[in-house]
């Protein structure tokens, strides 16, 4: 099995939720564990996450948005 965490008030745009987990919001910063193409998952954050209304995605283990 895979451990999954649930978060509240997470941005609901983009594909980050498919390859990132245990996400949480702290202020307007989104933080998640995201899986890179190779290697172990890592904690990554995206500041001003609430301002990205088009897309938030996992870019090889790093959250990015537009």
pLDDT at 12: 86
The model's pTM: 0.85
- How high is the mean pLDDT in each 10-residue block of the chain (66 residues)? 66 92 93 96 95 94 96
Find out whether 20 and 63 touch, Cβ atoms under 8 Å: yes
pLDDT at 28: 93
Find out whether 17 and 11 touch, Cβ atoms under 8 Å: no
pLDDT at 62: 97
CA atoms of 66 and 9, how far apart (whole Å)? 18
Burial of 5 (0-12, 13-18, 19+ CB in 10 A): exposed
């Amino acid at each position: 099995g895979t451990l999954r965490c649930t978060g509240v008030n997470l941005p609901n745009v983009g594909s980050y939720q498919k390859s990132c987990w245990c996400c949480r919001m702290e202020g307007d910063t989104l933080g998640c564990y995201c899986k890179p193409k190779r290697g172990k998952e890592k904690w990554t954050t995206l500041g001003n996450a609430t301002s990205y209304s088009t897309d938030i995605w996992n870019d090889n283990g790093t959250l990015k948005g537009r």
